C-alpha cells in the first residue's frame, strides 16, 4: 500500500464506516440540538469502537475515519474529531495518572474533551497567547484570562488549556494544562455560530492548577499544540474531502436526471465540464491528504509543510466543490434540510479553524525557505 492507493481492507472499512454513519449515527445526529454537545452521539461513537481508535491508529486511519464519517454524517465526524483534538495532548504528553483518569472516559464517550488554544486576541497567532498562569507557590499557578471559539465549550468535561507561564518568551513561554471543567473560577458561554457544532468562550478567574495538571513540560506547551495540529491538520483536510465527495455525488445524480433545455443537464458541456473539474479537485485533495498522513506515520521531517498543504488544498477545494454543487442544483439546494444547504454551512469553518488558509500559506512558505537556507545547493 502506498499513500496513493488504499488496500481492499481499507476500502471495505471506509464503506463500513459510511454505512454505520448513515444507519446508526445520523439518526442520533438529527435528534441533537445545533450548537450543543450531542452526548448520545458521542457515546455511540464509543460503542462502535471509533473513539478508542483515536489513540491506537495512525494519521492515515484518522483521515479515513474522518472522510468516511463526513460523507454520511458531518455531525458524527465532528464529534469524533473534537474528542481526538481535545484528548490527544493527554494521550501524547500526559502522565500515567492523567491518562488513566481521562482516556478511558474519552474513549467510551462518557467524557467530552476540548482543545482550548484560541483567544479573542490570539486566534491565528497562537504564540501571542495572553491567558496567564500566575505563580501561586511551588508547582502551583492560577489561570487568568479568556479563551474563545473553543469547540465543545462550555459543555466539555476536560480542557487542554494553553497558558502563558513566562512573559516575553513568545512561543517558548507557553504551558499546556489539563483542566477539568469543575475547577473553581472556570466559566463559559456558548456562541451562536454559522457552524452547527458547539463552540463557546471560556473565562478563567484564578483557576487553580498544579504541576500534576501540566501536559508535557513547563514552557513546552507550544510543542504540544503544534504536535497536535500537525496530526489533525491533514485530517481536517479529510473531513473536507468527505464533504466534497458527498456534494460531488449529489451533483452527479442530480445533473444526470434533471431535464432542462430539451435534454438532461449532464448533456450540456458547460455542466459536464464543471462536474469534471469538481471531481478532479476532489481527487487531488484526497491524494494530498493521504500523502501528508502517510508522511506523519512514517516520521518524515517535512510533516509541517505537508500537513499545511493538505489542509489548505482540501478545505479550499471543498468550498469550491460545495459552492458549485449548490449552483448546479439551483434553488432547491438553498432549502433548509437539503444536503447541500447543510454542507454549505459546514464547509466554511474548516478554512479558518486549526489555522486559517492564510496561516497555512505562511507555514508552507516558511518551510520552503528553511529548506533553501539549510541546502545552499538548492539555489543553483
List, by residue number, the catalytic residues: 354
Residues 299, 229: Cα–Cα separation, whole Å: 15
Residue whose C-alpha cell is 464529534: 79
Cell numbers that stand for 90 in this block: 493527554
Coil, helix or strand at residue 9: helix
Count helices and strands (H / E) in the chain: 12, 10
Half-sphere exposure of 248 (CA within 13 A, CB side): 24
Do 243 and 195 touch, CB atoms closer than 8 A?
A: no
Strands (E), the chain: 113-116, 132-135, 140-151, 158-164, 174-180, 186-190, 199-210, 214-215, 259-260, 263-264
Angle, CA 175 vertex, CA 370 and CA 361 arms, to 5°: 30
The residues, ordered by sequence, that sit 6+ positions from 165 with a Cβ below 8 Å of its Cβ are 133, 141, 173, 174, 175, 218, 219, 221
**For residue 33, what is the DSSP state?**
P
Distance CA 106, CA 249 (A): 34
Cα distances (Å, whole numbers) of residue 356 to 191, 318, 363, 380:
19, 14, 11, 33
Alpha-carbon span 227 to 304, nearest angstrom: 9
Could you tell me if 237 and 315 are in contact, meaning their C-beta atoms sit under 8 angstroms apart? yes
The answer to whether 347 and 241 are in contact (CB under 8 A) is: no
CB-based contacts of 63: which residues, under 8 Å, 6+ apart? 234, 235, 237, 238, 289, 290, 293
Amino acid at each position: 500500500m502506498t499513500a496513493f492507493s488504499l488496500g481492499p481492507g481499507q476500502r471495505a472499512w471506509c464503506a463500513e464506516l459510511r454505512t454505520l454513519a448513515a444507519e446508526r449515527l445520523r439518526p442520533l445526529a438529527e435528534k441533537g440540538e445545533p450548537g450543543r454537545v450531542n452526548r448520545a452521539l458521542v457515546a455511540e461513537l464509543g460503542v462502535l469502537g471509533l473513539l478508542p481508535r483515536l489513540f491506537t491508529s495512525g494519521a492515515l486511519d484518522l483521515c479515513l475515519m474522518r472522510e468516511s464519517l463526513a460523507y454520511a454524517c458531518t455531525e458524527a465526524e465532528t464529534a469524533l474529531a473534537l474528542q481526538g483534538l481535545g484528548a490527544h495532548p493527554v494521550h501524547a504528553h500526559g502522565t500515567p495518572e492523567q491518562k488513566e483518569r481521562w482516556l478511558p472516559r474519552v474513549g467510551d464517550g462518557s467524557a467530552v474533551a476540548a482543545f482550548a488554544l484560541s483567544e479573542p486576541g490570539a486566534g491565528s497567532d497562537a504564540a501571542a497567547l495572553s491567558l496567564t498562569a500566575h505563580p501561586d507557590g511551588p508547582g502551583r499557578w492560577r489561570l487568568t484570562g479568556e479563551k474563545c471559539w473553543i469547540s465543545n465549550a462550555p459543555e466539555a468535561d476536560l480542557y487542554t488549556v494553553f497558558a502563558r507561564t513566562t512573559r516575553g518568551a513568545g512561543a517558548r513561554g507557553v504551558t499546556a494544562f489539563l483542566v477539568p471543567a469543575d475547577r473553581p473560577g472556570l466559566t463559559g458561554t456558548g456562541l451562536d455560530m454559522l457552524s452547527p457544532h458547539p463552540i463557546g468562550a471560556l473565562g478563567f478567574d484564578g483557576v487553580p492548577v498544579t504541576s500534576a495538571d501540566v501536559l508535557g513540560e513547563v514552557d513546552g506547551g507550544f510543542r504540544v499544540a503544534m504536535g497536535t495540529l500537525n496530526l489533525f491538520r491533514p485530517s481536517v483536510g479529510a473531513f473536507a474531502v468527505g464533504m466534497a465527495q458527498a456534494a460531488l455525488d449529489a451533483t452527479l445524480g442530480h445533473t444526470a436526471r434533471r431535464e432542462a433545455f430539451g435534454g438532461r443537464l449532464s448533456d450540456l458541456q458547460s455542466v459536464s465540464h464543471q462536474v469534471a473539474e469538481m471531481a478532479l479537485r476532489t481527487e487531488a485533495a484526497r491524494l494530498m491528504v493521504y500523502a501528508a498522513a502517510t508522511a506523519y506515520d512514517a516520521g518524515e521531517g517535512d510533516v509541517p509543510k505537508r500537513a499545511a498543504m493538505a489542509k489548505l488544498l482540501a478545505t479550499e477545494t471543498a468550498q469550491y466543490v460545495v459552492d458549485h454543487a449548490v449552483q448546479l442544483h439551483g434553488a432547491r439546494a438553498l432549502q433548509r434540510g437539503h444536503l447541500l444547504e447543510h454542507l454549505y454551512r459546514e464547509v466554511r469553518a474548516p478554512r479558518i479553524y486549526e489555522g486559517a488558509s492564510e496561516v497555512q500559506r505562511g507555514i508552507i512558505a516558511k518551510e520552503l525557505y528553511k529548506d533553501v537556507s539549510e541546502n545552499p545547493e538548492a539555489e543553483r
